[in-house]
Structure 1
Amino acid sequence: MQVGLNLLANEMSMNTTKLLVAGAPNGRAFLEKLVSTIKSDKIHVDLQIGLDTPAEAPGWSETQILVSFGVPCGGAEMDAAPGLRAIITPSLGYEGIDVDAAHHRGIAFANGRVAENFESVAEAAMLFMLTSLYAVRDAEERLRRGETRTGPPRARMLKGKTVGIIGHGNIARALIERLSGWNTRILLNNRSKVAPSSAFEQCDLDTLLAESDVVLPLLPLTPDTDNLLSRSRLLAMKPGAILINLSRGAIVDETALADPEVVAHLGPIALDVFVTEPLPAASPLRDLPGAILTNHEISHTQENLGALFAMAVANIQAAIAGTPMPTALVPGR
């Protein structure tokens, strides 16, 4: 009888899908809810918080599905888990996941590609633009100091301004749609040529920087975009221009942003992302006058996180069932 029970247990173990859910401490609540939602007798879920790599998790070699919330996974880690068949990131960004290595090994990959994410970032970009143009921070601080409205107006209209958008992904397209009706001129710079549109003018990066009143890099972080907006390019921007970064901190030379010459040249800056997150207490960016700084959270709307959660569940369920994941990236694209 004991032998029979052991055989049954082994058979049940063989039919159980093994998942590793790994993430940073700031994602604990999201991941715990995710684990609670997908829990069933057919899967074994291991939740690990604070790993540097998934290979540090007990039983990694037997893992079949990895759900990674900011935990990098490269070819070496994949090779250490020969049964791995799917990697899922609940977020839109997937820096640290070697997608090419995964596809080369026949491992499917899916991310949190939901419309609410693109739309939330685009709305946040509009918020940062208007808050910067209308000098809301300055007006608020003067009120708190008890000052009356004196001197020339500081606020500027968005109407008639030139908005420079670097990149033409989903977020950029959502922002272009939202700018419709504001009577702005939109300059677009993209690595590859995009279909002509009456909504924007395509140009090279130098022209965009020289002519734009507001500059927004809306790009993933890659070797090509790392430090894209260097000190020399920041100084090549139109004097008094507003810089808004909602993409990745390393796209902009952070050190240069605090350089006195750059500070004097540019207008207000608005940053939601930084090279080191959270932004260190000693960062000179904290002392920049009129700067808007948020902790990589301005687009984390309730609607966005709700949609990301639902998509993560759908991707996990598809991976368990062995069916195509809704937001799987196609190899070679």
Structure 2
Amino acid sequence: MRLAVINDYLDLAREAADWARLAPGIDVRFHGRVSEAEAPQLLADCDMVVTAREETRFDAGLLEHLPQLRLLVTHGMSNAALDLPALAARGVTVCGTGLGFTMATVELAWGLILGLVKHIPAEDRTIREGGWGAGLGRGLTGRRLGLLGLGGLGADMARVGQAFGMEVIAWSENLTQQRCAELGVRLVGREALFAESDVLSIHMRFSSRTRSLVGRAELGAMRPDAILVNTSRGPIVDEAALVDALRSRSIAAAGLDVFDREPLPPDHPFRSLPNTLLTSHIGGRTRENILARYREAFEDVQAWLAGHPIRVVAAPLAERHVATAQP
């Protein structure tokens, strides 16, 4: 049997686990970033694949070229690049991992916020070019942090914002007054969240319900000096609308770790807009987290080989039918 560990461009999988401890006779291969064009040839003879989050799209088209694939392991328990119905129909078991130290995403969100309000990238660039002083930054104390989503990450964002002396407001469809009171956050309506926030940070799961949740109307309601930060998923924000808002300066800036297409296309407008601060979907990708995810991916492979899959995201249709038929 053959196992491919792909998109391991930091070469951490081999450090995280002793893959030679898998059942005898398993051929384990390690690859860096695998493009959609490369995947059919590289993975054609693989029975098992471990992939990083949303790096390679496993859809019906690719699966036609992977007749032997029976196990796919992904970092995390959700992955927008996986066509789960197509994988189930092809008899592939999909397993996931934990997220590790989730505060890493909060740390990055605040890095983007501070980078934008303090003009840190511009200051660094100006000094390196021989200048001194790129502009006047702003403070956070006394300003208003708006949170689109107040789950675990949103709660951590709120605590840091409060430590900076910010007022914190929040909205999501099912957010309650009790939850807000527990965290010292003011519950507001959806329109008020966008209109009143100096900094708006997104912390929601991506689904059909949240696709383009932040559109032209929401961006249009924001203040001209407000900034938007997205470390959740790109499609939660209408990308074309955000480009227009940044170009017209109807909002001041955006700090973005996630995008509709990843890697971000070379000619994407975000790359040339002066009021963006961009990172490459690194929110949860700390060294500690990646090592932990590969250790759990190794456990997933071991458990599947033993006939007892763990952390199952999606089971093959045949297995579901058998389970349903049990008395």
**TM-score grouping bracket, smaller chain normalisation:** 0.7 to 0.9
Q: Match for 1:285 among 270, 282, 293? A: 270
Which residue is 1:315 aligned to?
Answer: 300
Letter in 2 for 1:136: I
1:33-182 map, 5 Å: 37=19, 39-42=21-24, 44-45=26-27, 47=29, 50=34, 52=36, 57-59=43-45, 63=47, 66-69=49-52, 70-73=55-58, 77=63, 84=70, 87-91=72-76, 93-99=78-84, 109-116=94-101, 118-148=102-132, 154-182=136-164
Task: Return the alpha-carbon distance in structure 1 between the equivalents of residues 22 and 168 of structure 2.
Answer: 50
What pairs with 1:291-306 in structure 2 (closer than 5 Å)? 291-297=276-282, 299-306=284-291
Distance 2:69 2:287 in 1: 35
For 1:1-12, list aligned pairs within 5 A: none
The question of whether the paired residues in 1 share the 8 Å contact of 2:245 and 2:251 is answered with no
Identity of aligned residues (%): 23
Alignment partners' CA distance in 2, 1:192 and 1:32? 42
Root-mean-square deviation (Å)? 3.8
Q: 1:173 to 1:93 in 2, by over 3 A?
A: farther
Higher relative contact order (CA 8 A, sep 6+): 2
Counterpart residue number, 2:323: none
Deviations 1:122-148 (A, max 9, x none): 100111111211122233344345445
Point out where structure 1 has 5 or more consecutive residues left out of the alignment.
1-17
Question: What are structure 2's unaligned runs of at least 5 residues?
Answer: 316-327
Letter in 2 for 1:181: A
1:189-232 CA deviation, whole Å, 9 max, x = no partner? 22323552332233332221111111122233322333222233
Match of 1:256 in 2: 241
Q: CA deviation at 1:72?
A: 4.1
Q: Deviations over 1:236-266 (max 9, x none)?
A: 2122111112222232233333326754111
Counterpart CA distance in 2 for 1:193 and 1:295 is 30
| Bigger Cα Rg | 1
Q: 1:144 to 1:247 in 2, by over 3 A?
A: same
The amino acid of 2:153's aligned partner reads: I
Contact persistence 2:246–2:253 (CA under 8 A)? no
The separation in 2 between residues aligned to 1:261 and 1:74, in whole angstroms, is 33
Alignment partner for residue 244 of structure 1, among 229, 233, 239? 229
Q: Alignment length, in residue pairs?
A: 304
Deviations 1:46-75 (A, max 9, x none): 548647598874456xx4x55333444468
Match among 226, 229, 241 for residue 211 of structure 2: 226
Asked if structure 1 preserves the Cα contact closer than 8 Å seen for 2:76 and 2:99, the reply is no
Distance 1:236 1:295, change over 3 A: same
Residue 180 of structure 2 aligns to a residue whose secondary structure is coil
- Judged with a 3 Å threshold, the aligned counterparts in structure 2 of structure 1 residues 196 and 296 are, in CA distance, closer, same or farther, namely closer
